[in-house]
Amino acid sequence: MLGIIGGTSLLDYSGSDLQKKLVQTPYGSSWIFSGEEFALILRHQFQKGPHLINYRSHIAALKLSGVDRIISFASTGSLNPDLKPGLRLVPDDFITLDPVPTIFNHSIGHILPEFDIKMRKQLLNISPDTKDGGTYLQTSGPRLESKSEITWMAIHADVVGMTLVNELSISNEMKIPLAAVCTIDNYANGICDVSISYESILKTARENQKQTLELLFKIVSSGI
């Protein structure tokens, strides 16, 4: 079964044809919206900020629901003036300088986290207007980044967010392949002469929700 992780762009979505259930896991409990073809989890459930999300519980809940592959939708800020808000990107690499959660707290385990190549190609076939490749840089949040931080980040990455690397790492540790769609909801601080705030990011994400839902339904119907 396909698992979908929804972020800011799907914050208010809970499809009427989906069954909501609370899944208990060894790491906590998470709400899942289940259908016949996919299971959806909203990462910010319980209004959790990025630094408080129980990533291990969310991924474990998807796995316990029968999910064997995951597409993650991640809201991002653009580090490149040419990547305008409203566009989408399928990343092929990432950077993070912050600690990443792990399931290996009582044993030794090492993984090489990477976005699934096959699913990346499938996503690009489904949505050919989406940018192929790019580096996602994760910060811990919840604060936004300073202009000097963004100047440094723009040298090394294309978009910045606060959640995707954690989800990729935990998914790979649980042996679930994952690919991602980054929705570009704002320019990062200082990239363009535009003032940003969480409220402005949320406003743009909600304006783009229709496009995100259309892509979600295309992904589900494609049998990816």
Chain segment 50-78, per-residue pLDDT in tens = 999 999 999 999 999 999 999 999 999 99
Q: How far apart are CA 204 and CA 9, in angstroms?
A: 9
pLDDT category, 21, cuts 50, 70, 90?
very high
Each residue's pLDDT tens digit, 80-135: 999 999 999 999 999 998 999 999 988 888 889 999 999 999 999 999 999 999 99
Q: How far apart are CA 35 and CA 40, in angstroms?
A: 8
Contacts (Cβ under 8 Å, ≥6 apart) of 191: 77, 78, 79, 80, 81, 150, 154
Q: Which of 169, 163, 160 is nearest to 136 (CA)?
A: 160
**Count of CB atoms within 10 A of residue 125's CB?**
11
pTM of the model: 0.92
- Type of residue found at 158: D
Tell me whether residue 202 is exposed, middle or buried, using C-beta atoms within 10 angstroms of its C-beta: 0 to 12, 13 to 18, 19 or more. Answer: middle
Q: How far apart are CA 17 and CA 153, in angstroms?
A: 41
Given this model, what pLDDT does residue 109 score? 84
Domains and CATH numbers, the chain: 2-222 (3.40.50.1580)
pLDDT category, 198, cuts 50, 70, 90?
confident
Q: How far apart are CA 209 and CA 13, in angstroms?
A: 9
Q: How far apart are CA 208 and CA 184, in angstroms?
A: 9
Q: Please indicate whether residue 205 or residue 132 has the higher confidence score (pLDDT).
A: 132
